[in-house]
Amino acid sequence: MKIILMMSLFWLTTTAAIAEVNGPGDTQVYFMHLQDGDEVTSPVKVVFGLKGMGVAPAGVDPTVFKHVGHHHLFINSALTADMAGQVIPADNNHLHFGGGQTETTLNLKAGTYQLRLVLADPYHRIHQPIIASKAITIYVREDHYED
Ligand SMILES: [Cu+2]
């Protein structure tokens, strides 16, 4: 429990400087149902909201499909200003939804998680300026009803 608390403090401090980054105009990416501080049970359904741009699969020609991107979910992973233009790694902390998906279901063990949505271009590069949601912290409880 102590470790979880220390980790969440670490994420809070490292991401405070970039709490909310929005793209040009009204472009916004956001969690549709989850809110900061929510207590949930696994599996956790996460629905991605996007305003001001379109969703397109990874790999489409960006000269043909303009103002599009695909969603990425950062889990316990910092987003810093110098990541603009960089390719998002693909690992357990950086989930890509290159098929153009707008929702997912996470199987999470009980604990504290920081989640953030980040849009990236068809080549998985973070937009400049960065288009990302606020980071939210969710608390996954044990689901005792399944025991
Ligand atoms: Cu990607």
- Tally of domains in the chain: 1
Does 85 map to a domain?
Answer: yes
16: CATH: 2.60.40.10
Q: Is residue 147 part of a domain?
A: no
Centroid of ligand 1 to alpha carbon of 140 (angstroms): 26
The range of the structural domain enclosing residue 37 comes to 2-142
> For residue 112, is it within any domain?
yes
- Residue 138 to residue 136: CA distance in whole angstroms: 7
Q: Are 50 and 113 in contact (CB under 8 A)?
A: no
For ligand 1, the distance from its centroid to the CA atom of residue 96, given in whole angstroms, is 4
Whether 60 is in a domain gets the answer yes
What is the pLDDT at residue 92?
97
d(CA 80, CA 83): 6
Whole-structure pTM value: 0.81
Distance 84 CA to ligand 1 centre (A): 14
Question: What is the pLDDT, as a whole number, of residue 25?
Answer: 61
Tell how far the Cα of 106 is from the centroid of ligand 1, in angstroms: 17
For residue 30, being part of any structural domain is answered with: yes
> Do the Cβ atoms of 54 and 66 come closer than 8 Å?
no
Kindly give the confidence (pLDDT) of every residue in the chain, 147 residues in length, as a single tens digit, with 9 standing for 90 and above. 444 444 444 444 344 334 344 445 678 999 999 999 999 999 999 999 999 999 999 999 988 888 899 999 999 999 999 999 999 999 999 999 999 999 999 999 999 999 999 999 999 999 998 999 999 999 999 876 554
